[in-house]
Amino acid sequence: MNVIVVGAGKVGYIVAERLSREESNNVMVIENDPQAADKVAMSLNISLINDTGSNPRVLRDAMKMNDPDVVISTVARDEDNLFICMIAKNLKPDVKTIARIRDQDYISFNEDNDSIKLVDEIFSPENSCAEIIKELAILENAIEYDYIDSLDMVMATFLVTKGNNIVGKTILEIQDMPEMLSVVSIYRGEDVHTEVETFELHVDDRICVLGTSDDIRAFNKILGVVRDANEFVILGATAIGVNTARSLEMAGKKNIRIIETDQEKCTNTLRDLNYTRIMNGN
């Protein structure tokens, strides 16, 4: 597969690095910052153009050289990512375009309008991070939570605490375990135990499980919930902070507060939030 990645910042570099691991992929990176371009040239076995990817001439020349199946744009500004993908689609209508987008308005417009697509696919690390934070906030016993998109599953780690219902039991003795949930391993201190069915659970053990989102929530309830998490304070009206508030609202939570030092952010943040209050303070 021929791929062009525009932008070699934190996200773009990781995307290019992961894609270049597959020998079948022919990856080209376009990056205008000399230092970022040097890092790519020294670390990755890919093609590199040290120039501005939002320049139509540069993108056209790159597409002539690479003949991409996919163009992925990961530069700093949402508008630039959309422009790059739209130019790429104009130059080659059957190319698949993927853009990193932060602004929820762009994401919603692209998702809600099948007839007018700004870009074929959107990915938002900020949204993904916010979803994980939301789950960790709501699942009182969880300390790690990761989506595995390729399996449509979740891997989560739960901490066994003094009040949990499973202390002193083995996995086989736990009642009402979800059928599709798998206990992958149990951590005790620095030791990892993979023979888990007859392993007696102690306080401070960490249980790593794999299952659907519903399975994970069911396992959280099995451990026992001392008090439902219903009040949330978010420090900072960043993209991740605002997206976390939005995710909590969609999960039915209505007592959310954001604390933000920037007055302008305080003014603009609440336009699409219903149950979140914002305080201007440190």
Global pTM value: 0.73
CB 6 within 8 A of CB 73: yes
Strand order of the sheet with strand 231-235? Answer: 231-235, 255-260, 276-280
Pairing of strands 2-6, 276-280: unpaired
Instruction: Tell me the per-residue pLDDT of 227-251, one tens digit each, with 9 for 90 and over.
Output: 788 999 999 998 899 999 999 999 9
Instruction: Tell me the per-residue pLDDT of 70-115, one tens digit each, with 9 for 90 and over.
Output: 999 999 999 999 999 999 999 999 999 999 998 877 887 777 766 6
Instruction: Tell me the per-residue pLDDT of 132-171, one tens digit each, with 9 for 90 and over.
Output: 999 999 998 999 999 887 788 999 999 999 888 899 999 9
Q: Which residues contact 147 (CB under 8 A, 6 or more apart)?
A: 128, 131, 132, 153, 154
- Residues in the chain, total: 282
Across the range 9-31, mean pLDDT stands at: 94
